[in-house]
Structure 1
Amino acid sequence: MDKVYDKCCGIDVHKKLIVACFRKGSKQELRNFGATTRELLELANWLQNGGCEMVAMESTASYWKPLYNILESSELKAMVVNASHMKAVPGRKTDTKDAEWIAELLQHGLLKASYIPDKQQRELRELVRYRKSLVSERTRELNRLQKMLEGANIKLSGTVSDINCMSARNILEYLLTGEFFDEAKYDEMYKQKIIAHNLKASKEQLIDDLNGVMTPLQRRMMKELLSHLDELNVHINNLEDEIDNFMKPEEKKATQAIQDVTGIGKNSSQAIISVIGTDMSRFPTAGHLAAWAGLCPGNNESAQRGRPEKCEKGMLFYVQPW
């Protein structure tokens, strides 16, 4: 079989161990390294001094990221490969054998590199995904709040369309006082516009729904939940400002264009750009982009007979509506 690379390296990456197989023609050299920055720099220097043309490693959890960053800063060409694309022979599973197998496949051009964006886009992804995590955490806290209110027989969800809106928050702050919510209090809050004038519930229904039985413990728990929600809102707003400042002008322009699609807002458009970037030259057609995103079923045909094949999760898992 023809050799694509004369000097290449296959690396098996673990949390605290890096096993490298450096192939030079028909010969190879095996070395073990730790996962500290000093030892990763030693690995990069070893490959540089040996004239390595290409490095390949598995996309194991997030352990590949520090190594990839070191190789990138050392101007060494590297590819990250899906582990399912390079299964070794069964019964011969060791770290050394894995590194040798990766190096052999790489040398003969049998590995398909995963798309790794540039450093700026990778950092944008980190910001966007962290925002997604905070939004998910806020949703969980709102669900806890809703569950606690139902336990106290307070039907706030039947009164307002969103328990995270300003009117709902004002009502919750009043419930913390433990006072009875009567018609006089409703009129007072209504005149001061503390309660919105477009609530879906009538005055009578609102009074009935909000007069539940809340214990002192439940009030303390609600106070903690509201405090945590305030903190999360502050962090999310700060992170959104950070994302706006971090994005390049062409990325901001692309997000504006994507928002012309019905149903896609600012946050979703930023998430899409953080995943696919703005350089579409690596996707020959729209079909290639859809396939990479995991929106197209794969081919599964044998003996001229096709079998159903499900879509993979793909990268657009990170840009679901949120």
Structure 2
Amino acid sequence: MASDLLGKSGRAMLDALASGTTDPTVLSDLAKGQLRKKIPALREALTAFFTGHHAIIVTEILAKLDYLDDAIGRLSTEIDRVIAPFADTVALLDTIPGVDLRTAQCLIAEIGVDMTVFGAAERLASWAGRCPGQYESAGKSAGGKTRKGSKWLRLYLHEAARAASRTKNTYLSAQYGRIKARRGPAKARVAVEHSILVAAYHMLDRDEPYHDRGADYFTRRRDPAHHARRLAAQMDALGYDVAFTRRETPPTDTPKAA
């Protein structure tokens, strides 16, 4: 009936029930906004068996929820005070798709802001346990399990990857969809977590905001000219001088209309 039981309307009805009001007409009249259109249905739904015993239980639950809300507010104020010197860095990480303000604060709390401690993005990913493991037996390499790494960092990256996978027209959502189709959602999520962490490393190291590669990155990567340049760079690294010449594609004969 109500999408949010603890919204303004729901909370008002629960408080009234806890205080001893059980008249469905009075309770349904506490509805606010769009929910008032459902007053007849609310009146029918609120016609139920509700005793003093139930009122005590509801009162205790609401008191716990109020305490938790107050505690979250106090802790949030303290976090904002402590993280204030790094406000610019938090704003920087907040530009990554899937990373909100609180996640950015948590990332800084776990990995810090000085990336020279790690020396390379790959080392940070390895330390965090957000890169594929490697297992070798009888001369054959196979993917292994990822190391556990930091429990809390893993949790924050998990939530960020879930949010990033739902974004529209971003590299991270495209990466998730591409890997999910071939290797499943779990491996796709870890890959996105790895990408977020690597991006965070370079952003903190260079003091630059996030630059999205775009949702069409994997399509553009298949461009023949781009692929040729990549092969040329690989051959150059091996010590070969290579010159590529593109063949002219002969025009296709199209039948004339009758």
Query: What TM bracket, shorter-length normalisation?
Result: 0.5 to 0.7
**Percent identity of the aligned residues?**
30
AA aligned opposite 1:277: G
Q: What's 1:278 paired with?
A: 113
- Aligned with 1:307: secondary structure? strand
Aligned partners of 2:125 and 2:32: how far apart in 1? 44
Alpha-carbon contact 1:161-1:200 (below 8 Å) kept: no
Asked if residue 263 in structure 1 is aligned to residue 95 in structure 2, the reply is no
Q: What's 2:136 paired with?
A: 301
Aligned partners of 1:184 and 1:231: how far apart in 2? 28
Note the C-alpha offset of 1:258: 1.8
Note the C-alpha offset of 1:173: 0.5
Asked if residue 317 in structure 1 is aligned to residue 158 in structure 2, the reply is no
Q: What's 2:2 paired with?
A: 160
In the superposition, relative to structure 1, how do residues 224 and 170 fare at CA in structure 2: closer, same or farther (>3 Å)?
same
AA aligned opposite 2:16: Y
Aligned partners of 2:142 and 2:76: how far apart in 1? 44
Asked if residue 287 in structure 1 is aligned to residue 122 in structure 2, the reply is yes
In the superposition, relative to structure 1, how do residues 277 and 169 fare at CA in structure 2: closer, same or farther (>3 Å)?
same
Aligned partners of 1:258 and 1:199: how far apart in 2? 38
- Aligned with 1:268: secondary structure? helix
Alpha-carbon contact 1:271-1:318 (below 8 Å) kept: no
Q: Deviations over 1:38-74 (max 9, x none)?
A: xxxxxxxxxxxxxxxxxxxxxxxxxxxxxxxxxxxxx
Q: What's 2:32 paired with?
A: 196
In the superposition, relative to structure 1, how do residues 260 and 297 fare at CA in structure 2: closer, same or farther (>3 Å)?
same
Note the C-alpha offset of 1:218: 2.0
Q: Deviations over 1:281-315 (max 9, x none)?
A: 22333333222222212111122122341223322
Alpha-carbon contact 1:298-1:309 (below 8 Å) kept: yes
AA aligned opposite 1:204: P
- For residues 130-209 of structure 1, the aligned pairs below 5 Å read 159-183=1-25, 185-187=27-29, 189=30, 195-199=31-35, 202-209=38-45
Q: Deviations over 1:228-279 (max 9, x none)?
A: 2111111110111011111242x22221122222332222221111101111
Q: In angstroms, what is the RMSD of aligned CA positions?
A: 2.6
In the superposition, relative to structure 1, how do residues 321 and 210 fare at CA in structure 2: closer, same or farther (>3 Å)?
farther
Note the C-alpha offset of 1:204: 2.9
Q: What's 2:249 paired with?
A: none
- Aligned with 1:179: secondary structure? coil
In the superposition, relative to structure 1, how do residues 266 and 163 fare at CA in structure 2: closer, same or farther (>3 Å)?
farther
Indicate the structure with greater helix content. 2
Unaligned 5+ runs, structure 1: 1-158, 190-194
Q: What's 1:247 paired with?
A: 83
- Aligned with 1:301: secondary structure? strand
Aligned partners of 1:258 and 1:269: how far apart in 2? 6
Q: What's 1:214 paired with?
A: 50
Aligned partners of 2:48 and 2:37: how far apart in 1? 16
Note the C-alpha offset of 1:184: 5.6
In the superposition, relative to structure 1, how do residues 198 and 284 fare at CA in structure 2: closer, same or farther (>3 Å)?
farther
In the superposition, relative to structure 1, how do residues 293 and 209 fare at CA in structure 2: closer, same or farther (>3 Å)?
farther
Note the C-alpha offset of 1:160: 2.8
In the superposition, relative to structure 1, how do residues 254 and 200 fare at CA in structure 2: closer, same or farther (>3 Å)?
farther
Q: Deviations over 1:18-55 (max 9, x none)?
A: xxxxxxxxxxxxxxxxxxxxxxxxxxxxxxxxxxxxxx
- Aligned with 1:296: secondary structure? coil
Aligned partners of 2:143 and 2:36: how far apart in 1? 47
Q: TM-score, normalised by structure 1?
A: 0.43
In the superposition, relative to structure 1, how do residues 185 and 302 fare at CA in structure 2: closer, same or farther (>3 Å)?
closer
In the superposition, relative to structure 1, how do residues 222 and 244 fare at CA in structure 2: closer, same or farther (>3 Å)?
same
Alpha-carbon contact 1:259-1:266 (below 8 Å) kept: yes
Note the C-alpha offset of 1:163: 2.9
Aligned partners of 1:297 and 1:247: how far apart in 2? 32
- Aligned with 2:73: secondary structure? helix
- Could you tell me which of 221, 232, 245 is aligned with 2:68? 232
